[in-house]
Amino acid sequence: MTLKQEYSYYNKAILALIGDKNPVVASDDNKILSYFLPLRNFKKGFDYFELTRHKNGGVYFNVVTMLGLRTIVKTESEIYFRDCSEMEWIDIIHNIKMAHFMTEEYQALKSGYVKKKDSGCLGTLIVLILLSISLLA
């Protein structure tokens, strides 16, 4: 059974909130139900609205903003173990959506900037290895 069938009130709620913006179905299976909307100012930018099955059997809602393959910001709800009413889902989706759109990263993106993330230890290690290989060659 797909998440769209199992959580029909969620599907009605998400379409009530974003249906007028012509969302595209990105995934519809038993693990994830995902719709995306293109970002206005970015050719390869999208907001994904996803209901995802958690490994413990529940589901959570998240909003993910991506530019190409890069995740800019992700905001998640708590885990739910039942299909809430349509009004409850509207409230959950609205609250997560507003929290997402108010994040520093999303506001910077909206202004045309992409906030740079630290590459971390692994990124630094890869750069050092590549640099040492090129110096030895």
Domain spans, the chain: 3-136
The identity of residue 89, as a single letter, is W
Task: Evaluate whether 96 touches 76 at the Cβ level (below 8 Å).
Answer: yes
pTM reported for the whole predicted model? 0.81
pLDDT over 70, % of the chain: 93
pLDDT over 90, % of the chain: 72
Is residue 13 over pLDDT 90?
yes
What is the model's pLDDT at position 48? Answer: 97
Looking at residue 31, what DSSP letter applies? Answer: S
